[in-house]
């Protein structure tokens, strides 16, 4: 009876395939969790808040648009458009974070100290992958 319930050997996936599928699943789950932390509830809400943050940081530091432009190399007209809601293209975030003396995380999301929770999630992800590998090796 027990033999009748078992799958034929040709239908049982090798442990390596199971491991790879699970690792892919875990990485996809982690990716979307991180994206949710970075972008917030919606892309539109995210873009609205980052534009307001750029203007607020500039004003808090007493900088003009021209001063930000000269410090970052971003054309003043482009930066002004960003503050007014135009989509930010390229990778100016590091330059802007340095000028405003905030982390990239804070610049993009408006939230501080999220990076520690993301690192903790990544550590859990690595531990989960190691546990899966150990479990699959025990089946060999």
42-132: which CATH number, 3.40.50.2300, 1.10.150.570, 1.10.10.60, 1.10.260.40?
1.10.260.40
Buried b (16+ CB within 10 A) or exposed e, 85-117: eeebeeebeeebbebbebeebbbbbbeeebeee
Query: How does pLDDT run along the chain (140 residues), one tens digit per residue?
Result: 455 565 555 665 566 666 666 677 666 666 666 555 444 444 444 444 788 889 999 999 999 999 999 999 999 999 999 998 888 877 788 888 888 888 877 887 777 765 556 677 777 777 788 888 888 777 77
Q: Domain locations in the chain?
A: 42-132
């Amino acid at each position: 009876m027990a033999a009748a319930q078992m799958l034929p050997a040709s239908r049982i996936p090798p442990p390596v395939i199971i491991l790879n599928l699970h690792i892919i699943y875990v990485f996809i789950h982690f990716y979307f969790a991180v994206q949710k932390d970075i972008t917030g509830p919606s892309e539109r809400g995210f873009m609205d808040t980052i534009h307001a943050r750029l203007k607020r940081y500039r004003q808090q530091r007493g900088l003009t648009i021209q001063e930000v432009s000269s410090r970052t190399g971003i054309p003043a007209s482009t930066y002004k458009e960003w503050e007014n809601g135009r989509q930010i293209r390229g990778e100016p975030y590091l330059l802007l974070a340095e000028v405003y003396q905030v982390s990239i995380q804070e610049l993009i999301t408006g939230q501080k100290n999220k990076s520690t929770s993301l690192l903790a999630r990544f550590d859990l992800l690595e531990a989960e992958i190691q546990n899966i590998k150990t479990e699959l090796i025990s089946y060999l």
